[in-house]
Amino acid sequence: MNWPNLITLFRLFLIPIYLTVLPNISYSYKHFFSLFIITIGALLDILDGYIARKYSLVTDLGTVLDPLADKLLLVTVGIGLWLNEKLPLWLIIFIMIREAFMILGGLINYLYTKVVISANFWGKFNTCYVYLLIISYIFNWSIKEYLAIGFIGIVLLTTGIYFKIFLSKLKLKRVNIYNNGDKIKGF
């Protein structure tokens, strides 16, 4: 266990903190608490990534836990904001479906290829955009609906990019299997 992984685990620990504190604070402060939690989560995400890259502490565990922490924290805070009437239900459902698809795709990829697909620019961009979108709803910015429409486009784009990477990893795995002389049914 290294520092970046410990920071990522702390980000996961923010979820039970959020779920415990949110029901017990005044309605007028719930959205500020949600903003506080996602801000801490985002800053810690930047910190653990920086430390991991700068000191060559990137691990398979961190490569899996880091995006999982992002997804679970965003979905949890999103549901909390929806329950407190700050986010529309369709947006939460859309975010949840996208994140579930990404987690499932990553799991399937790992089971078949034994390779973890690390975060790329587009995945990080998508996460930052979701943070911005949530903040726009918290503060009721007039552009929030436009940001929501843009989010749909970004999700389609990033999901397509992820699917292309997934297919290339499967193709590479199939080539490696044939090159080693090991023929597996279905490949």
Cα end-to-end span (Å), the chain: 36
Residue 28 lies in a domain: yes
Q: Regarding predicted confidence, which is higher, 114 or 176? A: 114
Range of the domain at 118: 3-179
On the question of pLDDT at 175 being above 90, the answer is no
Q: Which of 66-80, 83-97, 111-125, 135-149 shows the lowest mean pLDDT across its residues? A: 111-125
Residue 187 lies in a domain: no
Residue 186 lies in a domain: no
C-alpha to C-alpha distance for 104 and 107, rounded to whole angstroms? 5
Q: Regarding predicted confidence, which is higher, 42 or 103? A: 42
Q: Could you report the per-residue pLDDT of 122-134, keeping only the tens digit for each? A: 888 888 898 899 9
Residue 185 lies in a domain: no
Residue 102 lies in a domain: yes
Half-sphere exposure of 75 (CA within 13 A, CB side): 17
Number of domains in the chain: 1
CATH number for the domain that contains residue 131: 1.20.120
| pTM for this predicted structure | 0.82
Residue 33 lies in a domain: yes
Q: Could you report the per-residue pLDDT of 39-73, keeping only the tens digit for each? A: 999 999 999 999 999 999 998 888 889 988 988 99
